[in-house]
Amino acid sequence: MLQRIYDWVDERLDITPLWRDVADHEVPEHVNPAYHFSAFVYCFGGLTFFTIVIQILSGMFLTMYYVPDINNAWDSVYYLQNQVAYGVIVRGMHHWGASVTIVMVFLHTLRVFFTGAYKKPRELNWIVGVLLFFVILGLGFTGYLLPWDMKALFATKVGLQIAASFPFIGDWIKLLLQGSDIVGAQTLARFFAIHVFFLPAALMGLLAAHFLMIRRQGISGPL
């Protein structure tokens, strides 16, 4: 059945070359854990992507119940976690997934560093990778405020204090992020917008650039 639908579309649109070009490439022996178990370190990039997919999916579903408003945010999170079926699991995926994502990015970066994969001709992809790391840290920071509990509030106050210590323009950065002279209604609305629209858009653009470059340059050689 599926095969016949595929053939029907393929006959008209010739889609096979499109995905073959992306999917058909050799996996070199030195990155295949079936040959050398230590090659599992090459999995961290893919695992990072996998956890990002989980973050995006679980985040999209959370926004079905979450409201970014100081009067309702905490209650909406409490409701979705305790009254909605599988709420604990969906929030748990996003909550723990956030930490797992950052750990995976870090391990992936270590692998790239210690295999020297950032060297010519892959300098540009290292730069994109560092930007991805910052975007993901930004998602972690802005997401942390959203449950609007005491931990969220005070963690954000500390985070903004750190931003304010930036030379010369620190106070300006803090005010821009805070959107107000206190961490309050406007901060929450702003962080929500950054968390679910701005940074995910940047994340997807950077990921596309990251993967295109990998496809062009291939995996770096063995040590």
Partner 1 sequence: MSKKEHDVSRRQFLNYTLMGVGGFMAAGIMSPLVRFAVDPLLKGKEGAKMVPVMDVKDITNEPQNKKFTVKKVDGWHKFDEQQIAYIFKKKNGDILALSPICTHLGCTVAWNDDPSHPNQFHCPCHGGRYTKTGINIPGTPPPAPLGVYKTQVKDGKLYLGEVISRGGS
Binding site for partner 1 (CB under 8 A): 54, 57-58, 61, 64-65, 72, 75-76, 78-80, 83-87, 89-90, 93
78 contact, one of partner 1, ligand HEM, none, CB 5-8 Å limit per kind: partner 1
Contact 33, 41 (CB under 8 A): no
**Cβ at position 196, least distance to ligand HEM in Å:** 4
**Judging by beta carbons within 10 Å of its beta carbon (0-12, 13-18, 19+), is residue 143 exposed, middle or buried?**
buried
Residue 196 binds ligand HEM, judged by CB under 6 A: yes
Task: Report, in Å, the least distance between residue 94 CB and ligand HEM.
Answer: 6
- Binder of ligand HEM out of 48, 87, 91, 190 (CB under 6 A): 91
- Closest distance of CB 73 from ligand HEM, Å: 8
Q: Is the dihedral of CA 195, 76, 156, 102 positive or negative?
A: negative
Selection from ligand HEM, partner 1, none that 190 binds (CB < 5 to 8 A by kind) is none
- Residue 63 contact among ligand HEM, partner 1, none, beta carbon within 5 to 8 Å by kind: ligand HEM
Tokens of 13: 């649109």
User: Judged by CB, which is closer to ligand HEM: 192, or 220?
Assistant: 192
The answer to the question of residue 95 lying near ligand HEM (CB under 6 A) is yes
Given ligand HEM, partner 1, none, residue 10, with its beta carbon under 5 to 8 Å by kind, binds none
d(CA 177, CA 191): 8
In the window 44-83, what residues touch ligand HEM (CB under 6 A)? 52, 55-56, 59-60, 62-63, 66, 77
Shorter beta-carbon distance to ligand HEM: residue 13 or 150: 150
Contact residues: ligand HEM, CB under 6 A:
52, 55-56, 59-60, 62-63, 66, 77, 91, 94-95, 98, 101, 136, 139-140, 143-144, 146-147, 195-196, 200
